[in-house]
Amino acid sequence: MTKKTVLNNDLLEVLHAFLVIEVSVEKTLIDGRTFIPAEVIDEEAEAAATETAFNTQYLNAVQSYKKLFKSWQAGSPVDTTKVREIVLPLLNKAFENPADIFQLHHYSTKEEYFFHHAVSVALLSGFIAKKLNYGTGDILQVAMGGCLCDCGMSKVSPKILEKKTVLTFSEFEEIKKHPIHGLKMLQNSSFLKEGVKFAVFQHHERLDGSGYPSGRKGQQPHPFANIVAIADVYHALTSERIYRKKHSPFKVLEMILHDDFGKFDIAALKALMSGIASFSIGSRVRLSNGFTAEILFIETNSPTRPLVKVMETNEILHLEKKRELYIDEIIA
């Protein structure tokens, strides 16, 4: 179990099975509340309850977004000022230590993936926009687009959203309508720039015409949509889903670079990759062969295949030349 693993009942049973009687845990629960054991309620615990650590603020933002999403499902209109109240303070907090943004996938759970996804895509989109030298106002607008990109999911049948098996063709066709629903929900908002509405409508479009809802080759999506698209797919693939296991950030970038070549905006992709590279040097990772390694250096031309030192053997490997290996998981 790596650092920042969310403990659930299944994992607790594993710990019991291996006779592990004690582990170190963070003080924040997955719903944003502070964990205070009954026997440790003292001044230190009370101080912990007032912490404004990034992870606490992030988890609280997820719960706030969840309430908004539930209200949209009930028919309430989108109040963009409330979305701004979620995004802006968290974005400012994240920019104090941008490395935190690349730990978000650890917090996402299968059951509450949609709510984590919205807040995480907002932060990732804001990060990419900042890397691309957008102005402060546009950074916020792009982040808002990331947060709202799946608001149209609130108009999809809850039975489909909560389904625990792979979707049927007809169910997926229903899911593919969510960008249209989202645009309808936001089209009369005067607070949002037109680029945000394009981001919501086009974040599943691809440059090669393989996306939806339009799916037209040669159609250039709005720059905001290009940013949200890459943030959306990156977080989706690095997060645990009901019907799919999560992949490491390096594995996901490799999939995007090779399997999805030509589908995404190169500038936005490079901005995301530069962030992951900046905050990964010195990290410990698990390789696909099971060995543990430390990232020593990341080359600009091959960011998914860094120079690593294998901890068990002290061997230094350049993964660019060891194509049979890849980084399976970031440990710490």
Question: What's the pTM?
Answer: 0.83
Q: How many CB atoms lie within 10 A of CB 143?
A: 32
User: Which residues of the chain are in CATH 2.30.30 domains?
Assistant: 280-332
Range in 3-12, 26-35, 168-177 with the lowest mean pLDDT: 26-35
- pLDDT value for 70: 97
Beta-strand pair 284-287/307-310:
unpaired
Residue 136, pLDDT above cutoff 50: yes
Q: Decide: 150 and 117 in contact? Cβ < 8 Å.
A: yes
d(CA 102, CA 295): 16
Question: Could you read off the pLDDT of 214-269 as tens digits, one per residue?
Answer: 887 767 899 999 999 999 999 999 998 776 778 889 989 988 988 788 899 999 99
Nearest 5°: CA angle at 261, between 117 and 305? 80
Q: Is the domain defined by 53-279 classed in CATH 1.10.3210.10?
A: yes
In this predicted model, which residue has the larger pLDDT, 212 or 241?
Answer: 212
Residue 144, pLDDT above cutoff 70: yes
**Cα radius of gyration (the chain):** 20
Residue 318: pLDDT band (50, 70, 90) is very high
d(CA 257, CA 212): 20
- pLDDT value for 241: 79
d(CA 33, CA 140): 27
Residue 41, pLDDT above cutoff 60: no
User: Which residues of the chain are in CATH 1.10.3210.10 domains?
Assistant: 53-279
- pLDDT value for 50: 41
Question: Could you read off the pLDDT of 283-301 as tens digits, one per residue?
Answer: 899 999 999 999 999 988 8
Q: Please give the mean pLDDT across all residues of the chain.
A: 88
Residue 140: pLDDT band (50, 70, 90) is very high
In this predicted model, which residue has the larger pLDDT, 173 or 5?
Answer: 173
Query: For residues 270-299, b (16+ Cβ closer than 10 Å) or e, as one string?
Result: bbbbbbbbebbeebbbbbeeebebbbeebe
Residue 49, pLDDT above cutoff 50: no
Task: Single out the residue of 122, 103, 118, 94 nearest to residue 6, CA to CA.
Answer: 103
Topology of domain 280-332 in CATH is SH3 type barrels. (2.30.30)
Range in 11-15, 58-62, 219-223, 317-321 with the lowest mean pLDDT: 11-15
Residue 47: pLDDT band (50, 70, 90) is very low
In the chain, the N- to C-terminal Cα span, in Å, equals 11
Task: Single out the residue of 155, 225, 218 nearest to residue 195, CA to CA.
Answer: 225
- pLDDT value for 17: 62
